[in-house]
Amino acid sequence: MLDLAGASSDVMGLLFGLVVVPAALTLAVRSRGRNAPRLHLGHGAACLATLLTIVAAQFYPIAVILAVAGPLVLQAILGRAGCELLAVPNLLLRRDDYLFCLPFSPIDTWEAGKPQLR
């Protein structure tokens, strides 16, 4: 086990980062209803999500790293743009909700304008 200040254990971090956080986000999106209009959240929501992530990282660093990195890898594998927080809910619920992502949305926009190599 890593001895990180504020981190309860690697196992709990793994569980929270890869299961609890994505499940909670999926339930939150699902609670809007199956036929709810597509979410398109901008800078305000992104700033709030970033602030909450930074605060959570102070207490549960392993969980936050995994909650961000796991869906980020999933987004890359699927070739999708957008915020990693909504990657699992969008995949499981077959939705296309969008949350502006402070570090990655500008990169996604730049990549979308580049010609694709085949």
Q: What is the pLDDT of residues 55-104, one digit of tens each?
A: 888 888 888 888 888 988 988 888 887 788 888 998 999 988 888 877 77
Is 3 domain-assigned? no
Distance of CA 68 to CAs 2, 19, 35, 118, Å? 19, 12, 27, 29
Output the pTM of the full model: 0.72
pLDDT digits (tens, 9 = 90+) for 24-66: 989 998 998 888 888 888 878 888 888 888 888 888 888 888 8
Q: Domain limits at 46?
A: 10-113
Is 53 domain-assigned? yes
DSSP per-residue codes, 44-99 = HHHHHHHHHHHHHHHH-HHHHHHHHHHHHHHHHHHT--S-GGGHHHHHHHT---EE
Exposure string for 63-94, b = 16+ CB within 10 A, e = fewer:
bbebbbebbbebbeeeeeebbbbbbbbbbeee
Is 67 domain-assigned? yes
Is 4 domain-assigned? no
Q: What is the SS3 assignment for 36?
A: coil
